[in-house]
Structures are given as structure tokens and as C-alpha cells.
């Protein structure tokens, strides 16, 4: 699990409210699962509290990288009493198999869950080979 503790208000970051300013950045690896589909794989990633515009998905060769920023729901005049190491950001890096075509990645965000569908390369899909007549 990747985890970093940094102050939120760095040189290139502006915090909108006191609750964010006082809270250290906690980056965690989100819960995720993978499963095979008829044409490739499906990856389900839990990203509670993240809106679509705060997700960054990048692919490079066989590597898939997902970074997401959780929306801070706390109001400026709220004071944190306790939490269970609730994340402020999520980061997930996956190394996928070469038979998957990352250019076919389709993403959907619903109920705090990001679902990615990735198809195999056309040449990797099972195909029937016919025997020609002599």
C-alpha cells in the first residue's frame, strides 16, 4: 500500500478551508478487484468520495495508473474529532498482461466505484481456424 503523509498546503496547493489546511494528505491504495470477461478484463476500484473530475487515468504500454482526489466534505468550521485513517487521495498502479489493449479502456464511475473494462488485442482473442481443402 502506498501511503504518504504531507501537509496539504504546499507551495503549489491552495487549501480552500481550515479543515483541509489542518489535515495531512493521506494517499492510499484503494480496494480493487479484477475479473475476466468474454473479451478481456474488468477492474472494479472503490473510490468513495471522489467525483469524476478528480480522477486521472493514465496508461503507458502495459501499465495503468489511477490517481484520484477525495472531495473534502467537512465545512470550514468543522473540527475533526477522530477518523479511521480516512484517505484524502487514492493511487493505484497496475501492471497488466501484454495481451490487453489499453487503448480500448472504458471507464465508468458510479456510487463511488470506478469500473474499467479493457479488451484484449484482436489477435489475442480466441478464433477458430478452418482447415482448407487440398
Regarding 31 and contact with other proteins (CB under 8 A), the answer is yes
Among 3-11, 33-41, 99-107, 123-131, the segment contacting other proteins (CB under 8 A)? 33-41
Report how far apart the first and last C-alpha atoms of the chain are (Å, whole number).
59
Instruction: State the cell numbers at 58.
Output: 493514465
For residues 22 and 7, what is the distance between their CA atoms, to the nearest angstrom? 8
Of 33, 38, 103, 132, the one binding other proteins (CB under 8 A) is 33
The dihedral through the CA atoms of 109, 115, 116, 117 has a sign that is negative
29: phi then psi, degrees, rounded to nearest 5: -85, 125
Regarding 65 and contact with other proteins (CB under 8 A), the answer is no
Q: What order of strands is seen across the sheet that includes strand 63-69?
A: 5-6, 25-28, 89-95, 63-69, 55-60
Among 7-15, 47-55, 97-105, 125-133, the segment contacting other proteins (CB under 8 A)? 47-55
Of 27, 47, 64, 116, the one binding other proteins (CB under 8 A) is 47
Regarding 83 and contact with other proteins (CB under 8 A), the answer is yes
Residues found near other proteins in the complex (CB under 8 A): 19, 30-35, 42, 44-51, 71, 73-75, 77-87, 111-113
Amino acid at each position: 500500500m502506498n501511503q504518504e503523509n504531507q501537509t496539504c498546503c504546499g507551495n503549489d496547493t491552495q487549501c480552500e478551508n481550515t479543515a483541509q489546511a489542518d489535515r495531512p494528505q493521506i494517499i492510499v491504495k484503494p480496494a480493487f478487484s479484477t475479473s475476466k470477461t468474454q473479451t478481456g478484463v474488468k477492474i472494479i476500484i472503490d473510490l468513495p468520495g471522489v467525483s469524476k473530475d478528480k480522477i486521472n487515468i493514465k496508461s503507458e504500454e502495459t501499465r495503468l495508473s489511477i490517481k484520484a482526489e477525495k472531495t473534502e466534505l467537512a465545512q470550514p468550521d468543522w473540527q475533526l474529532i477522530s477518523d479511521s485513517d480516512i484517505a484524502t487521495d487514492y493511487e493505484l498502479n497496475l501492471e497488466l498482461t501484454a495481451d490487453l489493449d489499453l487503448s480500448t479502456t472504458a471507464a465508468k464511475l458510479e456510487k463511488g466505484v470506478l469500473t474499467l473494462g479493457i479488451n484484449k488485442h484482436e489477435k489475442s482473442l480466441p478464433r477458430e481456424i478452418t482447415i482448407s481443402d487440398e
